[in-house]
Amino acid sequence: MSLFDHKLTEIQSMLEKKEVSIPDLVDESFKRIAAVDGDVKAFITLDEENARKQAEEAQSAGKTGILSGIPIGVKDNIVTKGLRTTAASQILRNFDPIYDATVVNKLHEAGTITVGKLNMDEFAMGSSTENSSFQKTRNPWNLNHVPGGSSGGSAASVAAGEVPFSLGSDTGGSIRQPASFCGVVGMKPTYGRVSRFGLIAFASSLDQIGPITRNVEDNAHLLEAIVGIDPHDSTSANVPAEKFSANLTGDIKGLRIAVPKEYLGEGVSEEVRQSVLSALKVLEGLGATWEEVSLPHSKYGVATYYLLASSEASSNLARFDGIRYGYRAENADNLIDLYKKTRAEGFGDEVKRRIMLGTFALSSGYYDAYYKKAQQVRTLIKKDFEDVLESYDVIIGPTTPTPAFKIGEIIDDPLTMYANDILTIPVNLAGVPGISVPCGFAENGLPLGLQIIGHHFDEKTVYRVAHAYEQATDFHKQKPGL
């Protein structure tokens, strides 16, 4: 049994009793990475020397805390001082940041030890981690299948037992979708709950950092450590930090659940649909009630998202020009030629596709027809959620319409790939919190995920429902046979 099969509270108890040491935990992580990451390819960069040094220092200092001494992997679009941060793009292949992201600072204060940076779709643009310019991450449950994306490395590293937890980022489902595909727990907090300072921007009004873990309790502990207002991020919300883990009582008697008919309709596979209906029966057995509702504008979510996200990406990625930092093309004739060559050579196809789409949507003559219209529809999608949540405590449905697809299966079909996020995108557009927890397995043995969505800044209820369901089932205890 791996040390990482234990919950955080159990690991801390073992540390206090001196049954294990912090260097043992870090050693366990690197041994597992050496054993399986040649197949999984979750990590882009490892920081073994520094991690082992930090482990020895932490052991000598005798610090205590629920996260103290625990190894963690960080998605490679979250900057880490002195540790290469590439966003899985050639344009940042030699970028060594000079500061830490706020979430990294908070985790250091809590005592975690960063073992390395995790693979992702380039600039978080993708749903399969096939768009990384370095390597394709594979699903630990079946190496021929994708782990999801863009936080594929973050989810795969946890599922493969390389680290007990990781950080990802979620713009349109990029934490929840890979968590579902890899059979782990992934939380997208309310927009503004976690600082984005130090997160390499894709779409600033949608991006949110969140935790990926083996179980709900650990997820709550990790989120507790990274929430809070940040003077470096004007979009971070001035909402008091909460002890989410204290609310995991298992009691959901009287809880009102809304189940959108759109989330169990066309495009959702029968085995996914049945897994959600089975989960609802479990929750009914725990004293909750559910009713079918409608989120009528959800069907416009994918089109709305790709217009808005691409428009924001067009603006955000203008900073990568070969002048200040990052890759710079050689043999340019003039400044304009330098811009063109640097961006042509540094960005991958998917990033270029989205920059072009966003630039078009923002251009004169098309702004009102596309970008402005998409913002108006976003408001309608947000209002759908607000209307339903006036009468219900949570919204529940599948995380993804199907289990993980095969590597290479739809990479050349962008529209099909984009539609894969149809159930997660509306949550980002509305800014509400959502979590994915394991809820079964497909016929081919791949995991399926249940998505639980809550009111703005009501992560505590989302966690309470997720934990109650988790304790009544054993899907989260299953591990891939790597």
Query: What are the tens digits of pLDDT across the range 182-200?
Result: 999 999 999 999 999 999 9
Residues 6+ apart with CB under 8 A from 75: 117, 118, 120, 151, 153, 154, 166, 167, 168, 169
Retrieve residue 82's tokens: 């002195």
* Predicted confidence (pLDDT) per residue in 281-326, tens digit: 999 999 999 999 999 999 999 999 999 999 999 999 999 999 988 9
Q: What is the pLDDT of residue 418?
A: 79
How many Å apart are CA 265 and CA 37, to the nearest integer? Answer: 37
Assess contact for 122 and 87: CB atoms under 8 A: yes
Assess contact for 467 and 296: CB atoms under 8 A: no
Q: What is the pLDDT of residue 163?
A: 98
**Average pLDDT value for residue range 401-420:** 88
How many Å apart are CA 285 and CA 278, to the nearest integer? Answer: 11
**94 closest CA partner among 342, 341, 328:** 328
Retrieve residue 423's tokens: 């159930």
- Res. 354 pLDDT band, cuts 50 70 90: very high
Retrieve residue 360's tokens: 């078009």
Point out the residues that are catalytic. 75, 150, 174
Start-to-end CA distance of the chain, whole Å, equals 14
- Chain-wide mean pLDDT for the chain? 96
How many Å apart are CA 359 and CA 150, to the nearest integer? Answer: 22
* Predicted confidence (pLDDT) per residue in 128-170, tens digit: 999 999 999 999 999 999 999 999 999 999 999 999 999 999 9
DSSP structure string for 24-58: HHHHHHHHHHHHHHHHH--EEEE-HHHHHHHHHHH
* Predicted confidence (pLDDT) per residue in 193-226, tens digit: 999 999 999 999 999 999 999 999 999 999 999 9
Q: What is the pLDDT of residue 420?
A: 82
- Res. 419 pLDDT band, cuts 50 70 90: confident
Q: What is the pLDDT of residue 411?
A: 84
- Res. 63 pLDDT band, cuts 50 70 90: confident
How many Å apart are CA 438 and CA 155, to the nearest integer? Answer: 12
What secondary structure letter does DSSP report for 265?
S
Give burial (CB, 10 Å; 0-12/13-18/19+) of 324: exposed
Provide the 3-class DSSP secondary structure of residue 82.
coil
- Geometric angle at alpha carbon 176, from 203 and 302, rounded to 5°: 50
Q: What is the pLDDT of residue 62?
A: 85
How many Å apart are CA 443 and CA 274, to the nearest integer? Answer: 12
How many Å apart are CA 62 and CA 72, to the nearest integer? Answer: 19
Q: What is the pLDDT of residue 74?
A: 98
Please give the backbone phi and psi of residue 110, each rounded to the nearest 5 degrees, phi first: -80, -10
Assess contact for 406 and 446: CB atoms under 8 A: no
Q: What is the pLDDT of residue 460?
A: 97
Angle at which helices 102-110 and 216-226 cross, to 10°: 110
Assess contact for 137 and 41: CB atoms under 8 A: yes
How many Å apart are CA 360 and CA 305, to the nearest integer? Answer: 15
Pick the CATH number of 3-249 from 3.40.50.300, 3.60.150.10, 3.90.1300.10, 3.40.190.10: 3.90.1300.10
Q: What is the pLDDT of residue 347?
A: 97
Asked if pLDDT for residue 1 goes beyond 80, the answer is: no
Rg (CA), the chain: 21
Residues 6+ apart with CB under 8 A from 232: 102, 195, 197
Asked if pLDDT for residue 44 goes beyond 90, the answer is: yes
Please give the backbone phi and psi of residue 467, each rounded to the nearest 5 degrees, phi first: -70, -45
- Res. 65 pLDDT band, cuts 50 70 90: very high
* Predicted confidence (pLDDT) per residue in 91-116, tens digit: 999 999 999 999 999 999 999 999 99
Assess contact for 147 and 138: CB atoms under 8 A: yes
Provide the 3-class DSSP secondary structure of residue 230.
strand
